[in-house]
Structure 1
Amino acid sequence: MSRFALFLATTATIVVTGPAAAQSMQGMNMPGMTMPAKQPAAKAKPSAKSKRAPAHRATPAKRSTAPMDGMKGMDHSAMPGMQLPPSGQQPAQGAPQPMQGMDHSAMPGMSMPAGQQGHDMNGMSGMNGMAMPGMAQTGTALPAGDAPAPAPPMDHYADRMFAPAEMAKARSDMMFEQGGQPFHQVMFNLAEYQARQGRDGYRWDGEAWFGGDINRLWLKSEGEGAFREGIESAEVQALYSRAVGPYFNLQGGVRQDLGPSPKRTYATVGFEGLAPYMFEVEGALFLSTKGDLLGRLEGYYDQRITQRLVLQPRVEFNLAAQDVRENGIGRGLTDAELGLRLRYEIRRQFAPYVGVSYLAQTGRTADFTRAQGKDPTTTSFVAGVRVWF
């Protein structure tokens, strides 16, 4: 019976004292702090109806200087660097409150700049210059140094994982497949019948090339003639072309004249390419074996009206540095041609067209033509086909 009575007494004691022990945590003493005794209940404030300040004597509310409720009675004297007023004394009006006059210089790991001990915790202005242990310095806080810059990245990152020789061969094969292999094209920009006053004729202007994106071999030919009278003028050029930019090629080679007029051979240098706003332009200088210097400049523009209908204005100028009487050429601008052709692209490679062409000789060239009893100006209605493959 004595053991049973002792068990009942122990159980009753635990049940009664358990809630009280849980509530006593509010005032428990922790190392370095002393919790206050139970505060007396606050007195009830008089109601607004019983005491109301006159409107003309109202004053703004003062900022509370009382310490935080959770910090009441806490003994901060045991914390290093804490400076509090003596026990039983309240801080004076306007005096720094607890946690505001804390001296962080005495806290472990805190390094405060001179003159900033006792900084204001509310503004945190004293945090500038604080050095925290274990915190890495980055950005502009890094100290000045003369360490060398890191090595630049490699152009071909795959060379780090694979043999450089094999990767070089793979890149060469890729470049060849994506434009390095040779191509070719044959195109007749003009192949037409000309209906003109006096006698009808024909005209051609074509070119062919073979090569890659940089180096090419070009063959060019152009001429005109009259039916039942044969070829009036014709020429063939063999040129080497080298790309000098994304849109232009520099060309050089030889030109050979054909036809009934005196046959001459010329050294040729010129250019061909795509000018801004999609103008196809071509220019060349010709120096003959006799010392004659000639020049040519031509261009055209393809204006799409629909996906198949294209209007092409064309202009060509020929020049000479001196008179070449045996060829009927005078010094200066020898002739100018203006043309307008409208083509319909049945396929991109095959497009019939119709149009009009106006040719006018000028200066001494026109005088040589009149001396032969011919008209120096010619207007032709043309019909032909533009083809390439």
Structure 2
Amino acid sequence: MRKTIPIGAALLLASAPAAAAAQDHDHAAPAPAADDTCPMPDHAAMGEGAMDHGAMDHGDMSACRSEADEQLMDHSGMNHSTMAGEAPIPQTPPPPEAFEGPAHAADAIVGAEKMAASRAAVAREVSGMNLLWIQGERAEYRAREGSDGYLWDIQGYYGGDIDKLWVKSEGEGNFGEKPESAEVQALWSHAIGPWWDLQAGIRQDLTGPERTHAVIGLQGLAPYLFEVDAAAFISTRGDVTARIEAELDQRITQRLILQPRAEIGLSAQDIPELGVGAGLDTVEAGLRLRYEITRQFAPYVGIEQEWKIGHGADYARAAGEDPSATNYVAGIRFWF
């Protein structure tokens, strides 16, 4: 005759391995004790062969088993630091044997002279090696009503990450005539943040009434990737002027770039001999579409509108010039 195991005993037998495993895992709390609220069937009264499973309250028994399982699976008190495969991190210094080898082991394979030169090159690069960079931002032909003209805007620097020597030159004019404007600047540039350089130096005008100016300005990358170059000038005659340039590269493809650009000129006073009016004197706005044959060489075409404002417009009319001009441009942007 097959012996029937009472359900209460079966539950205790089933929980025994789990309790043993819990103790092996170093639980903070012992295995849960039996809950007096869990109803257990009276098997002695029912008899071994006459168990009525339909009459048993399985809902109460399920609740008891769920509660017991939750208690057995509570790992919050488990000491995981002693589990297999997790060694404690050593808190002592490296053993002396770690420093017994040569200081530059690669010298024996590559050669001491080559490795010394390589280490020196890495040190220069990491510490901010000096670089030479030159860019022709605008070198263009300008077609406009009347006579066609030209414009150049070239700048470059030599120096490291923090301090540089900047040289800038720009000017414009009509073919067959003297340049209308031409200047060169020499500036010391110091990084004051990840995106901005503070610049100071001198500017020399090469046309018209020659003037030398002290320069102080900011150059860098404004929010939304606008490249900004702003500077104030004080001439040897006491004239105070300022210029702000901003441009933005909008990539249409990896090589085709649309560049909006704007420039404004300001003056603290009228300068009749230069045709400059007090306040907002000039405004230029344009679009250029360039194609980068290589990153260092990119031809472009575009359109730019110029306006003389206020007294500056009056000076232009008095000289027989139109205070507003439209330029159709084609040029080259390069750097090396």
Task: Note whether the superposition's TM-score is higher than 0.5.
Answer: yes
Partner of 1:311: 258
Rounded Cα–Cα distance in structure 2 between residues aligned with 1:317 and 1:355:
19
How far apart, CA to CA, are the structure 1 residues paired with 2:156 and 2:325? 29
Q: Which amino acid aligns with 1:349?
A: Q
Which residue of structure 1 aligns with residue 206 of structure 2? 258
Q: Partner of 1:28 in structure 2?
A: none
**Structure 2 match to 1:9:** none
The Cα of 1:43 is off from its aligned counterpart by 11
Q: What is the correspondence of 1:137-152 to structure 2 with a 5 Å cutoff?
A: none
CA distance in 2 between partners of 1:305 and 1:46 (Å): 85
Q: For the structure 1 residues 362 and 256, does the alpha-carbon distance in structure 2 shift closer, same or farther, using more than 3 Å as the test?
A: same
1:374 deviates by 1.0
Report what 2:299 is aligned to. Answer: 352
Aligned-pair CA distance for 1:178:
3.3
- Look up the SS of the partner of 2:126 in the other structure: helix
Cα distance change, pair 322–307 in 1 and its aligned pair in 2 (3 A): same
Between structures 1 and 2, the one with greater helix share:
2
Q: CA deviation at 1:318?
A: 0.5
Q: 1:45 to 1:181 in 2, by over 3 A?
A: closer
Aligned to 1:209: 157
* Corresponding residue number in structure 1 for 2:317: 370
Task: From the superposition, tell whether residues 178 and 329 of structure 1 become closer, same or farther in structure 2 (CA, over 3 Å).
Answer: same
RMSD between superposed Cα atoms in Å: 3.5
From 240, 243, 246, the counterpart of 1:296: 243
Deviation at 1:331, TM superposition (A): 0.3
- Cα deviation, residue 277, structure 1: 1.7
Residue aligning to 2:125: 177
Q: For the residues of structure 1 that align with 2:146 and 2:45, how far apart are their CA atoms?
A: 129
- Structure scoring higher RCO (CA < 8 A, sep ≥ 6) equals 2
1:339 matches 2:286: yes
Matches within 5 A, 1:80-159: none
The one-letter code matched in structure 1 to 2:198 is L
The residue type paired with residue 382 of structure 1 is V
Residues in 2 aligned to 1:174 and 1:337: alpha-carbon distance in whole angstroms: 45
For residues 98-125 of structure 1, the C-alpha deviation after alignment (integer angstroms, 9 at most, x for no partner) is xxxxxxxxxxxxxxxxxxxxxxxxxxxx
- Percent of aligned positions that are identical: 53
Report the Cα offset of residue 276 of structure 1.
1.8
Which one has the bigger strand percentage? 2
Query: Could you say if the C-alpha distance between residues 187 and 179 of structure 1 is closer, same or farther in structure 2, counting changes exceeding 3 Å?
Result: farther
Q: Give the Cα–Cα distance (whole angstroms) in 1 for the partners of residues 157 and 173 of structure 2.
A: 25
Structure 2: any 5+ residue segments left out of the alignment? 1-43, 58-91, 105-115
SS at match of 2:125: helix
2 CA distance for matches of 1:328 and 1:184?
Answer: 37
> Whole-Å Cα distance in 1 between the matches of residues 290 and 326 of structure 2?
19
1:209 partner amino acid: Y
1:193 to 120, 134, 141: 141
Q: How many residues align?
A: 245
List structure 1 runs of 4+ shifted beyond 3 angstroms: 42-49, 169-175
- 247, 267, 271: which is aligned to 1:324? 271
Q: Does 1:230 align with 2:178?
A: yes
CA shift for structure 1 position 171: 9.5
Residues 50-80 of structure 1, C-alpha deviations (whole Å, 9 max, x = no match): xx9xxxxx9x9xxxxxxxxxxxxxxxxxxxx
Distance 1:43 1:336 in 2: 105
Tell me the CA shift for residue 194 of structure 1.
0.3
Shift of 1:372: 1.1
- The offset of 1:173, in angstroms, is 6.6
The TM-score with structure 2 as length reference comes to 0.66
C-alpha distance in 2 between matches for 1:43 and 1:256: 115
Q: Deviations over 1:164-217 (max 9, x none)?
A: xx99x9998744233621111111110000000011100011101101111100
One-letter code of the match for 1:249?
D
Bigger mean CA deviation after superposition, 285-294 or 272-281: 272-281
Judged with a 3 Å threshold, the aligned counterparts in structure 2 of structure 1 residues 173 and 192 are, in CA distance, closer, same or farther, namely closer
Distance 1:201 1:43, change over 3 A: closer
Q: SS state of the match for residue 365, structure 1?
A: helix
Residue 46 of structure 1 deviates from its aligned partner by 10
Once the two structures are TM-superposed, the CA of residue 278 in structure 1 deviates from its matched residue by 1.4
* Structure ID, larger Rg: 1
Distance, in Å, in 1 between the alignment partners of 2:298 and 2:257 is: 9
